[in-house]
Amino acid sequence: MATFDEFLNLDLRVGTVISAIPLEGAIKPAYRMDIDFGPQIGVKRSSGQYTVNYQPADLVGRQIVAVVNFPPRRIAGFTSEVLVLAAPDPADAHILLAVERPVPNGGRIS
């Protein structure tokens, strides 16, 4: 079981996808994205396997939820700086977690 203090160590924020393109060289089809987390955090990069349910144009302008305080990871030669959160659909493809209404970029999930 995780403790409440452990949960508080995760920095979950809302950001808006400002670009999304295929991630060349990925073993499984994926996109690389630039995400705006507002003036405090700035624009961060991420990659994810969202190609089954989303085209790049579907992602641009979409607000997502991400963990912004994990260390960067190299994926197919690309540095992913944040972990975008998603849930599996019935076919085990990814559905992005999002907020119900537009909120300011960088808003902390609590």
Of 77, 12, 66, the residue nearest 34 (C-alpha): 66
In a domain, 105, yes or no: no
Query: Which residues share a beta bridge with 48?
Result: 31
CA distance 110 to 36: 19
The predicted model gives 69-73 an average pLDDT of 96
The predicted model gives 97-109 an average pLDDT of 96
What pLDDT is stored for residue 95 in this prediction?
97
Tracing tokens 């995400």 back to the chain, one arrives at: 35
Tokens representing 77? 């030669």
The rounded mean pLDDT for the chain is 96
Phi, psi of 54 (to 5 degrees): -140, 140
Single-letter residue type at 75: I
Single-letter residue type at 15: G
Residue 110 has pLDDT above 90, yes or no: no
Give the whole-number percent of the chain exceeding pLDDT 70. 100
Total domains, the chain:
1
What pLDDT is stored for residue 69 in this prediction?
98
Q: Kind of pairing, strands 73-75 and 86-88?
A: unpaired
Which CATH number is 36's domain given?
Answer: 2.40.50.140
Segment 2-42, tens digit of pLDDT? 999 999 999 999 999 999 999 999 999 999 999 999 999 99
In a domain, 58, yes or no: yes
